[in-house]
Amino acid sequence: MPLIQWNEQISVGIDQFDNDHKYLITLLNSLFDGINAGRGPQSLAYILEELLEYTETHFAREEAEMQRLGYPDFDSHKAQHDMLTGRVYDIQRQVAAGASSALSKEAVEFLNNWLVGHIQGTDKGYMPFFAAHGVR
């Protein structure tokens, strides 16, 4: 049973970013389902790695577009991105150091809640700005 499915309510109106969000949610669901199925962190490490890489890829894409167009709330938006990336790094580092409990259902739920909250709050904040600049 997945944590959440992407749905139109969390669309930010830009295809690339919506697709990125869908994929990040898919990865979080895969982690959550894996933990629920009793798989250990070793067998989920590649998903965690992909989550980290794609989170960075996606955030960099959003940030590049904001900077290109001079988005006024760039700094606070980027600070949120850095905070989540740091959280995923922490989990990965702890798992690599043998703290397998760092990759828990609660940790994945936290990341998921954070991501969805970020999309619905902070990301939606850029919709009128990007729309006014013709980004779709």
The one among 29, 107, 112, 123 contacting Fe ion by CB under 5 A: 123
Shortest reach from residue 59's CB to Fe ion, in Å: 6
**Cα gap 6→2, rounded to integer Å:** 10
Binding residues for Fe ion, rule CB under 5 A, total 2
- Give the residue from 88, 79, 84, 76 showing the smallest Cα distance to 125: 76
**Residues making up the chain, counted from first to last:** 136
Q: CB-side exposure of 126: number of CA atoms within 13 Å? A: 29
- Contact region with Fe ion (CB under 5 A), list: 18-26, 60-68, 93-101, 109-117: 60-68
Shortest reach from residue 119's CB to Fe ion, in Å: 7
Comparing CB distances to Fe ion, the nearer of 26 and 122 is 122
Q: Are 37 and 86 in contact (CB under 8 A)?
A: no
The residues binding Fe ion (CB under 5 A) are 62, 123
